[in-house]
Amino acid sequence: MMGTQKRCLISREDIARRVQELAADLSRDYQGCDLVLVGVLKGAFIFLADLVRELSFPVEIDFVRLSSYGGGTSPTGEVHISKDVELPLKGRDVLIVEDIMDLGFTLGFLRQHLATHLPKSLKICCLIDKRERREIDVPLDYVGFVVEQGFLVGYGLDCGEKQRTLPEIFVLEK
């Protein structure tokens, strides 16, 4: 990505403030519940790590690793699981934690997949709701930021595995 310009879209301070607000919402809604957070690797690992440290109650954590068939430029809507959940989810409150929703295929697939485990409840917490290219409508229960368009990097989001570790969220400029 040599030569690609990027512009800071969401600062560290704004991310930290919004993560605290989301954690407060979760602490209010799930206090006393048997909550399992399912993070979507790799992009959600930083968001999940920050979020859980702001929660005022104990949770369990698991991860899935998903990838789309067909590569990034022409998504087919087919999603493949390369690492599944390991904790039992049956009868428990489950919250998917994802970095960004774009077309919607990934969260649509994961929601259906986790529903087969028969959780007591199943909701989604997504840091960024990117609306420009949405193909499938998947209800997001907790959203950090709504972004209309662009390709974002940083705070877990990558471009070809680069720029994931940046502490702010940037938009790549053409």
Instruction: Restricting to residues 20-59, name those near ligand IMP by CB under 6 A.
Output: 43
Residue of 106, 117, 154, 170 interacting with ligand IMP (CB under 6 A): 106
Residue of 39, 43, 119, 144 interacting with Mg ion (CB under 5 A): 43
- Please list the active-site residues: 102
Told to check if 39 binds Mg ion by CB under 5 A, we report no
According to DSSP, residue 103 is labeled S
Specify the residue, 104 or 119, whose C-beta has the smaller distance to ligand IMP. Answer: 104
DSSP 13-50: HHHHHHHHHHHHHHHHHHTTS-EEEEEEETTTHHHHHH
Pick left, alpha or beta for residue 3 (phi over 0 → left; psi -120 to 50 → alpha; otherwise beta): left
Number of shown-chain residues binding ligand IMP (CB under 6 A)? 14
Least spacing, CB of residue 43 vs Mg ion, in Å:
4
Told to check if 104 binds Mg ion by CB under 5 A, we report no
